[in-house]
Amino acid sequence: MSCGQAHSSAREFVAQGNEAKLVAETLEISRSSLYYRPQPRTSHADRSHDQEIILACGEKPAYGYRRVVWWLGRHHGLVINGKRALRVMRERGLLVRQHRFQVSRRKDWAKVEALYPNHVWQSDMTKVWAGPSVGWAYLVSVIDCCTREIVGWDLSLRCRTEEALAALNRAVLEVLPFGPRGMGLTLTTDNGTQFTSARYVETLNQLGITHRRTAYNHPEGNSYIERFHRSLKEEEVWLNEYQNFDQAESSIARWIQEYNHDRPHRGLHGQTPHDVRARFALTLTSNMAPCV
Q: State the DSSP code for 116.
A: S
Average pLDDT over residues 125-138: 94
Q: Please tell me which residue, 34 or 129, carries the higher pLDDT value.
A: 129
What is the DSSP pairing of strand 210-213 with strand 150-156? unpaired
Strands laid side by side in the 210-213 sheet:
150-156, 136-144, 120-129, 186-189, 210-213
Question: What integer is the mean pLDDT of 4-31?
Answer: 79
Distance CA 151, CA 174 (A): 7
The predicted-structure confidence for 226-278, as pLDDT tens digits, reads as follows: 999 999 999 999 999 899 999 999 999 999 999 999 998 888 888 999 999 99
3-state secondary structure of 24: helix
Per the prediction, the chain carries an average pLDDT of 85
- Return the H-helix or E-strand segment holding 130: none
Distance from the Cα of residue 129 to its chain's centroid: 21
> Which stretch, 26-40, 88-102, 173-187, has highest mean pLDDT?
173-187
pLDDT at res. 67: 87
Compute the distance between CA of residue 122 and CA of residue 226 in angstroms, rounded to an integer: 9
Check residue 104 and give its pLDDT. Answer: 45
- Dist CA 187 CA 225 (whole Å): 11
The percentage of residues in the chain with a pLDDT greater than 70, rounded to a whole number, is 87
Is the whole-model pTM more than 0.75?
no
Tens-digit pLDDT profile for residues 21-74? 887 888 777 877 777 666 666 556 667 788 888 888 888 888 888 888 888 888
Mean per-residue pLDDT, 146-158? 96
- In this predicted structure, what is the pLDDT of residue 147? 94
Residues 6+ apart with CB under 8 A from 130: 136, 137, 157, 242, 244, 245, 247, 248
The pLDDT score that the predictor gives to residue 40 is: 64
pLDDT of amino acid 103: 44
Q: How confident is the model at residue 292 (pLDDT cuts 50, 70, 90)?
A: very low
Residue 106 has pLDDT above 50, yes or no: no
82-86, 98-102, 148-152, 174-178: segment of lowest average pLDDT: 98-102
Residue 107 has pLDDT above 50, yes or no: no
Size (the chain), residues: 292
Confidence of residue 211 (pLDDT cuts 50, 70, 90): very high
User: Using alpha carbons only, how large is the chain's radius of gyration in Å?
Assistant: 30
The pLDDT of residue 284:
60
